Chain A
């Protein structure tokens, strides 16, 4: 069961530009999380946004959540070459579980 789906699948930008990735999901959620994965490594948690929150910031990251549209977006401002990675959203398959289901991810390339 693919709960979250990211869009676009791949994104290539120049250093200094902003990068926006989107995530859509199917069922009601308690929260939605974003993760980052550098090539060949484990995932690292970036940010968690609860269902009663609309926007959250962490450094150069801005996450929005629209529960009416069942969608979220991750914005990385002033991107750097070091931001090159894959980004995943993760949601529970239903609202009363600790399970985390990941989407297919967006691969971001930031060119210096």
Chain B
């Protein structure tokens, strides 16, 4: 059974802390994604990675960075957490294809609260 696993289901951090959200997939997928989901705003893409050490900014990269040192792991880093980063964070992965994006598999989400 294919799996995308996010390290935490719920997380509470303090303003100014450096926060790491980890995501691991076991499907040998080239593409990995980080989204945040807020009520009324849907899913917004933060970062996209199409290979090890390769990344592209999404629509809302400010305040975030990412790391992809190994194919199966994609980390989202909040350099200095702020209350406006309180949100649901979703990781996903998919196969790379010349024919456009393929089916994405999602993790269960991390609900982050910054206090």
A and B assemble together: yes
A residues apposed to B, CB below 8 Å: 1, 29-31, 33, 35, 40-45, 48, 50, 88, 90, 92, 95-105
Contact in complex: B109, A98 (CB < 8 Å): no
Tell me the dominant secondary structure on chain A's binding face: loop
Task: List 30 A-B residue pairs with CB atoms under 8 Å apart, sorted by A's residue number.
Answer: A1-B59, A29-B100, A30-B99, A30-B101, A35-B104, A41-B108, A42-B4, A42-B90, A42-B92, A42-B107, A43-B43, A43-B90, A43-B104, A43-B106, A48-B103, A50-B99, A90-B101, A90-B104, A96-B100, A98-B30, A98-B31, A98-B96, A98-B102, A99-B33, A100-B101, A101-B59, A102-B42, A102-B43, A104-B42, A105-B43
Contact in complex: A45, B41 (CB < 8 Å): no
Contact in complex: B42, A100 (CB < 8 Å): no
Number of residue pairs across A and B with beta carbons under 8 Å?
81
Contact in complex: A97, B108 (CB < 8 Å): no
Q: What is the distance, in angstroms, from A81's C-beta to the closest C-beta of chain B?
A: 23
**Can you name the residue of chain B whose Cβ is closest to the Cβ of A48?**
B103
B45 contacts partner chain A, Cβ-Cβ < 8 Å: yes
B97 contacts partner chain A, Cβ-Cβ < 8 Å: yes
Q: A99's contact among B41, B101, B107, by CB below 8 Å, is which? A: B101
**Can you name the residue of chain B whose Cβ is closest to the Cβ of A5?**
B42
Contact in complex: B104, A31 (CB < 8 Å): no
Given A45-B103, A92-B100, A102-B44, output 13 extra A-B contacts at Cβ < 8 Å: A29-B100, A30-B100, A41-B109, A42-B4, A45-B104, A90-B104, A95-B100, A97-B101, A98-B48, A99-B56, A100-B92, A102-B43, A104-B40
Contact in complex: B42, A103 (CB < 8 Å): yes
Q: What is the distance, in angstroms, from B29's C-beta to the closest C-beta of chain A?
A: 10
